[in-house]
Amino acid sequence: MFHTEHCVTIDAPIQYVYDVLADVEGYAKLFPPTQAVTLLEVGPDYQIAKLVVEVSGQIQSWTTRRDLDVVHRIIRYQQLQTAPLLDHMGGEWRCFQLRGEQTQLVITHDFAVRTAVNGLVLGQYTPEQAEEMVRGAVERNSAADLDAVKKEAERCVLSIKDADAPPLPLSSQI
């Protein structure tokens, strides 16, 4: 099993960051590799969704359960139906309030590649190749996902500040 952890500091209050993450239906707009999200079940503190995502040039899908802890600003996820190379994938999105209106966002992944049969995973890859492919995708996607959340949360802050700003004097608009 592998464990990875990536983080970014975001110039937005913790609730903005958490709200961006909690909106799983918005992932297709937020994360370019995500082609579609279908909510299968929703409860007061969880979501089960099917995601269709481009991973390393291939379209893959999986079903994930997301447990939402709004008090601690943590979203735990676990793939119920995994992507083809994976035996197990889970982790957390964790939001931590920093000074002022900054948030540290951490994403973790805990995963294992499928067991090789006759020396090959999915009949194509050595265990080492499969692990390298998954680790590479996790690294690339983690950086891209954190950047996307950062941009969206900071955009939300700016749009609210712009909406609250008094109108410019007419003389400055000419």
Q: What is the pLDDT of residue 159?
A: 84
pLDDT band at 164 (very low <50, low <70, confident <90, very high): low
pTM of the model: 0.89
Q: What is the pLDDT of residues 38-85, one digit of tens each?
A: 999 999 999 999 999 988 788 999 999 999 999 999 999 999 999 989
What are the residues facing 68 on neighbouring strands? 75
**Residue in 90, 106, 107 with CA at minimum distance from that of residue 98:** 106
Task: Report the alpha-carbon distance of residue 66 to residue 91 in Å, rounded.
Answer: 10
Residue in this structure with the two tokens 């969206």, named with its chain if needed = 152
Q: What is the pLDDT of residues 123-163, one digit of tens each?
A: 999 999 999 999 999 999 999 999 999 999 999 998 877 66
Sorted by where each starts, the structural domains of the chain and their CATH numbers stand as 2-24+72-161 (3.30.530.20)
Q: What is the pLDDT of residue 141?
A: 92
Strands (E), 25-85: 34-43, 46-55, 58-69, 74-81
